[in-house]
Amino acid sequence: MDVFNYFFVICICIYYTYVVVVVCLMSFGFNRFMPFLVLSGQLCEPGIEGTLFSLFMSLNNIGATLSSFFGASLASFLHISSDQFENFSVGICIQAAFTLLPVLFLHLIPLNVNSAMGMEKSK
């Protein structure tokens, strides 16, 4: 085999390794999202679980897109670039604050799924 064939084989191996790693990371991301989906599936009306799942996946995708956009906007606003890191700590603090923001909404989740379903049936 000549040098080109060795290079081609190495590129194919790197590509498939990348694909396997990305798929593993994506499945890990969905597994951390699964308890939320199960809880919301138990709380919703029967028959709309698929619609609710698609709604949550759509919200997850638009959230990822918007977070990328707002992250780039924040870096631009704070004048953070590849050679300028003066406000980097401020950007990290803002990111940490917005990451913890959903904790304020935890009180909206019922403590017991069965009691929440019982309350809805008794109405």
Give me the pLDDT at residue 18, please. Answer: 79
Contact 56, 41 (CB under 8 A): no
More confident residue, 19 or 120: 19
Q: Is the separation of the CB atoms in 52 and 44 below 8 Å?
A: yes
pLDDT tens profile 1-52: 566 677 778 878 887 887 888 777 777 766 777 788 888 888 888 888 889 8
Model pTM? 0.57
Tell me, yes or no, whether 53 and 92 share the same domain.
yes
Query: What does the pLDDT read at residue 116?
Result: 53
Assign 114 a pLDDT band (cuts: 50, 70, 90): low
Residue 8's domain comprises 1-43
pLDDT at 45: 86
Distances (CA, A) of 89 to 73, 77, 78, 92, 101: 16, 14, 10, 5, 18
Q: Do both 39 and 52 map to the same domain?
A: no
| Amino acid (1-letter code) at residue 50 | G
Total domains, the chain: 2
Tokens 């698929």 appear where? 50
Assigned token pair, 71: 């992250």
